[in-house]
Amino acid sequence: MGLSQSDIRRIAGFARKVTKAPSVETVISETFETLKAIANIKEMRIVYSPAPSSWKEWKASPDSVEVRPHDEWPAPGKKGLTLLFDPDDEHSGFVSVDKKGEKVRSTLEIMTPEVWCALLLQSALRRVQKAAISETELVRETFRARDEERRHISRELHDDLGQSMASLKLGLKWAEDLVRKKRGMEEVVKELSTARSDVGTMLEKIRDLSHTLYPRILDTLGLVAAVKELAYQASRHASLAVNCTVRGKGRALGKEIDVALYRCCQEAISNAIRHSEASKLEIEISFGEDEVRVTVVDNGKGFDPRALYDSNSRMMTSGFWTIRQRMADLGGAFRLSTSEGHGAVVELIVPYSSRKNHASRKNKTAPR
Ligand SMILES: Nc1ncnc2c1ncn2[C@@H]1O[C@H](COP(=O)(O)OP(=O)(O)O)[C@@H](O)[C@H]1O
Ligand SMILES: [Mg+2]
């Protein structure tokens, strides 16, 4: 086959190096250097398909290496010699050189499968790294959402409850002084009655806060009833007609899915109330074959969804950002369709196969 002992040793060294190569660039340059040394080639093309219908091409010559992506199959030229990565698939990719001859063919026949393996390995490594990064990002973003919620609760406690308590304390002190001096009983009664009504307001606030921390209705009545309750609360806004429908046979989804869907639905409803100026709100919970879908549709003024993103395509606004994170965490999806003047549709979709669906594994009881 025209290969000397030292050529074979060189190819063996090449195989060892490319399996441990730190990058695709190293794979390409080692291939070129080895082919240059053994077969005296001047030019080399490597085409590789990292994903269906997409190819990447490296063109190496003694002075440079060019890299180009392709959406169309970049066929090898007629001159020189080409070996396909997968002989059964002509679009699998190839190594092509500018020389022909027995020695070049033998060298390429040994090296081409090694190059393909090394490139496949590099793609797999990149995918694993990407998955690890998005997992880290998810954890970081979960913490951000949690901190956001804590900031909200802390603000409510400090600004609302804190101030009401402080003024209640002052009022009680004033009443206490009057009683001690046995003067102004009428005013004392007035002050006490204001204090009583303040305490009533504070109790409501505490109930709301406790609900914000955890909507207990989910435990007692389940997701469907809890969403209906949200719809009922929304319908108390005089200008809004709210309709809530349930389709399909309800089923237990597990606490995490219940809480996430409830929270996201609450955010979508609160957005419609705060921002949309809608007169109609349609909420639908649909139990399908493989997934549950909650849809919130308003007929309001809509908006340009591009406003939710900054110039680096990162979502900025916290409400939709949290919805997206919650759905991603469940392996579900969040879809928003809106345009100025045409209302907004928010869809929340969670597959029953979500790994958070403990209910499907433990008990199959339907929600109350
Ligand atoms: N249903 C809606 N109708 C009209 N505009 C909306 C609607 N939902 C959201 N928006 C717009 O999108 C923005 C981002 O919403 P969101 O992420 O929930 O943040 P926030 O409600 O805190 O402003 C809102 O400020 C509003 O301008
Ligand atoms: Mg919002």
Q: Does the beta carbon of 300 sit less than 6 angstroms from any atom of ligand 1? A: yes
**Looking at the structure, do residues 310 and 230 belong to the same domain, yes or no?**
yes
Q: What is the mean pLDDT of residues 176-184?
A: 84
| Predicted pLDDT at 366 | 44
- Last residue of one domain, picked from the residues 107, 132, 157: 132
**Looking at the structure, do residues 9 and 128 belong to the same domain, yes or no?**
yes
**Looking at the structure, do residues 18 and 94 belong to the same domain, yes or no?**
yes
Mind listing the pLDDT tens digit for each residue in 72-92?
999 999 999 999 999 888 899
Could you tell me if residue 205 is inside a domain?
Answer: yes
Q: Which of 303, 285, 289, 223 is nearest to 256 (CA)?
A: 223
**Looking at the structure, do residues 196 and 246 belong to the same domain, yes or no?**
no
From 148, 263, 270, 275, the mutation candidate for ligand 1 (largest count of ligand atoms within 8 A of CB) is: 275
Which residue's CA is the nearest one to ligand 1's atom 26?
A: 275
Residues found in the chain? 368
How many angstroms is it from 337 CA to the middle of ligand 1? 13
**Looking at the structure, do residues 288 and 225 belong to the same domain, yes or no?**
yes
How many angstroms is it from 368 CA to the middle of ligand 2? 29
Could you tell me if residue 310 is inside a domain?
Answer: yes
**pTM tops 0.85:** no
| Ligand nearest to the backbone CA of 346 | 1
> How many folded domains does the chain comprise?
3
Separation of alpha carbons 179 and 198, rounded Å = 20
**Looking at the structure, do residues 353 and 237 belong to the same domain, yes or no?**
yes
**Looking at the structure, do residues 288 and 254 belong to the same domain, yes or no?**
yes
| Predicted pLDDT at 155 | 78
**Looking at the structure, do residues 118 and 169 belong to the same domain, yes or no?**
no
Domain that holds residue 37: 5-132
Separation of alpha carbons 125 and 137, rounded Å = 18
| Predicted pLDDT at 368 | 42
Which residue type, as a one-letter code, is found at position 240? L
Angle, in degrees to the nearest 10, between helices 24-39 and 102-155:
170
Mind listing the pLDDT tens digit for each residue in 261-306?
999 999 999 999 999 999 999 999 999 999 999 999 999 999 999 8
Q: Does the beta carbon of 305 sit less than 6 angstroms from any atom of ligand 1? A: no
Q: Does the beta carbon of 301 sit less than 6 angstroms from any atom of ligand 1? A: yes
Mean pLDDT for all residues in the chain: 88
Give the rounded distance of the alpha carbon of 357 from its chain centre: 18
| Ligand nearest to the backbone CA of 321 | 1
| Predicted pLDDT at 207 | 79
| Predicted pLDDT at 28 | 96
From 152, 281, 303, the mutation candidate for ligand 1 (largest count of ligand atoms within 8 A of CB) is: 303
Q: Which of 248, 266, 268, 261 is nearest to 222 (CA)?
A: 261
Could you tell me if residue 24 is inside a domain?
Answer: yes
Decide if 93 contacts 113 (C-beta within 8 A).
Answer: no
| Tokens found for residue 177 | 């002084």
What is the distance between the terminal CA atoms of the chain, rounded to a whole angstrom? 77
Q: Does the beta carbon of 164 sit less than 6 angstroms from any atom of ligand 1? A: no
Q: Does the beta carbon of 323 sit less than 6 angstroms from any atom of ligand 1? A: no
Identify the residue with better confidence: 313 or 19: 19
Query: Is 157 strand, coil or helix?
Result: helix
- Last residue of one domain, picked from the residues 132, 156, 173: 132
What residues contact residue 21 under an 8 Å CB cut-off, 6+ apart? 27, 30, 118, 122
**Looking at the structure, do residues 264 and 307 belong to the same domain, yes or no?**
yes
What residues contact residue 365 under an 8 Å CB cut-off, 6+ apart? 252, 359
Could you tell me if residue 234 is inside a domain?
Answer: yes
Name beta bridge partners: 247.
Answer: 286
Q: Does the beta carbon of 334 sit less than 6 angstroms from any atom of ligand 1? A: no
Could you tell me if residue 206 is inside a domain?
Answer: yes
**Alpha helices, H only, the chain:** 5-19, 24-39, 102-155, 163-180, 185-213, 217-235, 255-271, 318-329, 358-362
Burial 310-340 (b: 16+ CB within 10 A, else e): eeeeebeeebbbbbbbbbebbebebeeebee
CATH, residue 56: 3.30.450.40
CATH, residue 356: 3.30.565.10
**Looking at the structure, do residues 236 and 350 belong to the same domain, yes or no?**
yes
Which residue's CA is the nearest one to ligand 1's atom 4?
A: 276
Which residue's CA is the nearest one to ligand 1's atom 6?
A: 275
How many angstroms is it from 299 CA to the middle of ligand 2? 17
**Looking at the structure, do residues 64 and 159 belong to the same domain, yes or no?**
no
| Tokens found for residue 12 | 């063996």
Pairing mode, strands 65-70 and 54-60:
antiparallel
- Last residue of one domain, picked from the residues 182, 211, 240: 211
Q: Does the beta carbon of 94 sit less than 6 angstroms from any atom of ligand 1? A: no
Could you tell me if residue 335 is inside a domain?
Answer: yes
Could you tell me if residue 367 is inside a domain?
Answer: no
Residue 183 — pLDDT band, cuts 50, 70, 90?
confident
Query: Is 293 strand, coil or helix?
Result: strand
| Predicted pLDDT at 359 | 62
Separation of alpha carbons 95 and 97, rounded Å = 7
Checking if the pLDDT of 361 tops 70, the result is: no
Q: Tally the C-alpha atoms within 13 A of residue 326's C-alpha that lie toward its C-beta.
A: 24
Which residue's CA is the nearest one to ligand 1's atom 20?
A: 319
Could you tell me if residue 10 is inside a domain?
Answer: yes
**Looking at the structure, do residues 282 and 259 belong to the same domain, yes or no?**
yes
Identify the residue with better confidence: 363 or 204: 204
